[in-house]
Amino acid sequence: MPWKGEKNPYKIWVSEIILQQTRVQQGEKYYRALLKKYPDIAALANANESELYKIWQGLGYYSRCKNMLQTAKMIVNDYNGIFPHSYDDILKLKGIGPYTAAAIAAFAFDLPYAVVDGNVIRILSRYFGIESPYQSAKEKKQFELLAQKLLPKKQSASYNQAIMDLGATICKPQSPLCESCPFAKKCYAYIHGRISELPAKKSKIILKDRYFHFFIFENKQSIFIQQRNEKDIWQHLYSPYRIEKQKINLTEYPFLKGLKYSKIPERYTQKLSHQKIHGFFYRMEVNNLDCIQDLQLIKIPKARLSIYAFPKMIISFFEKNNYL
């Protein structure tokens, strides 16, 4: 991992924000791409928003990207471009919670703060036999206080990295290597045969179903898109014209009159953290722009479609139909 052993707070911050909702294998290429384009705080603070979202495209949870840009500007304006050195100041930054603040404080500045990620939670739960999941505020506090109590104050960075590595390589979620673990003889879960039961499972999230109908207005050379500016999923990304409704009757919409289109749409699904998106795509041939002039769409050449940032579902449609 390119960020392992890193002491630069900017690079640590970038890696931690990417890994908040992303697997290491996927996140590494984005980490490298972001640092290549924006090698320091000042470069990120001056980033073109559209270009930044384009690099982030495919990572999801785009509020992370928005918060990164706001935080970079805040550091430049309020801290003279120098990443704050105290845990409390780091915690004030947009998009940074206790875990990320602890990681930056410990790894960049050797401050005595325990980093509590999934690996650490798994080890503490198994070793001490903690029955509660890491879910409610009270339960999270239990783990965080214990992790802080165990932290050697003069070796916080080394200890944090070591326990995280132990969880990633030995105390794994599935098929842990207990025989190789230096703590097996005192581990509650190992002694009592409860490795598979701990940590306790979180209650299952019920996904909300949403139904998006996308209209691909196009002609031979151009395609029409719009930017999503409402405070909702995919904010600041681009998409074709969209109607959100479980079922639609195409004859109800005046702007579709006289257009050639297939009444059987292509279907796609995408799962988000709390939502399941059902996407339906209709290709519409537009030769007379009068019918769509009130839809506030952006006309772009198809050849330039790749410079715009789109949600994963829409990228899948474009790739399958040779737009990208």
Q: Spell out the domains of the chain, with CATH numbers in brackets.
A: 9-113 (1.10.340.30), 208-320 (3.90.79.10)
Q: Which residues contact 270 (CB under 8 A, 6 or more apart)?
A: 276, 277, 279, 311, 312, 313
Residue 248 region by backbone torsions, left for phi larger than 0, else alpha for psi between -120 and 50, else beta? beta
Q: How confident is the model at residue 261 (pLDDT cuts 50, 70, 90)?
A: confident
Q: How confident is the model at residue 114 (pLDDT cuts 50, 70, 90)?
A: very high
Task: Give me the phi and psi of 220, to 5 degrees please.
Answer: -60, -40
> Alpha carbon 70 to chain centroid distance?
16
Residue range 120-128: mean pLDDT, rounded: 97
Is 16 designated active site? yes
Structure tokens at 136: 């409610």
The Cα–Cα gap between 242 and 26 comes to: 29
DSSP annotation of 301 reads E
Residue range 120-141: mean pLDDT, rounded: 95
Q: How confident is the model at residue 99 (pLDDT cuts 50, 70, 90)?
A: very high
The larger pLDDT score, comparing residue 243 to residue 4, is at 243
User: Quick one: pLDDT at residue 181?
Assistant: 97
The Cα–Cα gap between 34 and 117 comes to: 23
User: Quick one: pLDDT at residue 317?
Assistant: 96
Q: Which of 16, 139, 197, 244 is catalytic?
A: 16
User: Quick one: pLDDT at residue 51?
Assistant: 95
Cα dist from 171 to 131, 176, 241, whole Å: 17, 5, 48
User: Quick one: pLDDT at residue 187?
Assistant: 98
Cβ atoms of residues 134 and 143 within 8 Å: yes
Mean pLDDT, the chain, as a whole number?
94
| Angle, in degrees to the nearest 10, between helices 156-169 and 118-128 | 80
At 291-312, the pLDDT tens digits run 888 899 999 999 999 999 999 9
Nearest CA among 254, 19, 96 for reference residue 84: 96
User: Quick one: pLDDT at residue 291?
Assistant: 84
Find where tokens 């004030």 sit: 92
User: Quick one: pLDDT at residue 151?
Assistant: 96
Cβ atoms of residues 17 and 95 within 8 Å: yes
DSSP annotation of 78 reads H
Residues making up the chain, counted from first to last: 324
On the question of a cis peptide bond just before residue 152, with omega within 30 degrees of 0, the verdict is no
Q: Which residues contact 148 (CB under 8 A, 6 or more apart)?
A: 113, 114
For residue 223, pLDDT beyond 90: yes
3-state secondary structure of 202: coil
For residue 81, pLDDT beyond 90: yes
Q: How confident is the model at residue 227 (pLDDT cuts 50, 70, 90)?
A: very high
What burial class does residue 107 get, using C-beta atoms within 10 Å of its C-beta: 0-12 exposed, 13-18 middle, 19+ buried?
buried
For residue 262, pLDDT beyond 80: no
The Cα–Cα gap between 159 and 154 comes to: 9
Q: How confident is the model at residue 209 (pLDDT cuts 50, 70, 90)?
A: very high
Cβ atoms of residues 295 and 255 within 8 Å: yes
3-state secondary structure of 249: coil
User: Quick one: pLDDT at residue 1?
Assistant: 81
User: Quick one: pLDDT at residue 232?
Assistant: 92
Task: Please report which helix (H) or strand (E) contains residue 172, including its range.
Answer: none
Residue range 164-174: mean pLDDT, rounded: 95
The Cα–Cα gap between 174 and 195 comes to: 9
- In the chain, the percentage of residues whose pLDDT exceeds 90 is 82
The larger pLDDT score, comparing residue 117 to residue 260, is at 117
DSSP bridge pairs for 239:
226
User: Quick one: pLDDT at residue 57?
Assistant: 93
The Cα–Cα gap between 307 and 244 comes to: 26
The Cα–Cα gap between 104 and 314 comes to: 35
- Torsion on CA atoms 62, 64, 66, 70, rounded to nearest 10: 180
Q: How confident is the model at residue 28 (pLDDT cuts 50, 70, 90)?
A: very high
User: Quick one: pLDDT at residue 104?
Assistant: 97
